[in-house]
Amino acid sequence: MTTLFGILYALILIVIIVIGIFIIFHIIRYSLNRTLATILILLFISVTCVLLLLNFSAFSTIPFNHLFS
């Protein structure tokens, strides 16, 4: 059960990371203002990383075997 949820969660993480890469790519490639682009990218990366870490730590503490027993 834990493995199944682990795979599903990995898929969610991959989707989030791919979307994040596309967002950063668009800002770098098409932004008119370099300064604003840098600020936006730093903001996006830092907040996304914090949220991902929080989410991952919450996921790793879920007792799946206990929940579905």
Q: Could you tell me the two tokens for 29?
A: 């490639």
Q: Is 41 in the site for another protein (CB under 8 A)?
A: no
Q: DSSP 3-state assignment of 31? A: coil
11 binds another protein (CB under 8 A): no
- What CA–CA distance (Å, rounded) separates 20 from 52? 12
48 and 20 Cβ atoms separated by less than 8 Å = yes
State the minimum distance, in angstroms, from the CB of residue 40 to another protein. 8
In the list 3, 4, 7, 33, the residue contacting another protein (rule: CB under 8 A) is 33
Contacting residue, 4, 26, 38, 46, with another protein by CB under 8 A:
26
User: How far does Cα 29 stand from its chain's mean position?
Assistant: 21
- Count the residues of the shown chain that bind another protein, applying the rule CB under 8 A: 29
How far apart (Å, rounded) are the C-alpha atoms in residues 33 and 63?
47
Report the interface residues with another protein, using CB under 8 A.
12, 16, 19-20, 22-23, 26-27, 30-35, 40, 44, 47-48, 51-52, 54-55, 58-59, 61-63, 66-67
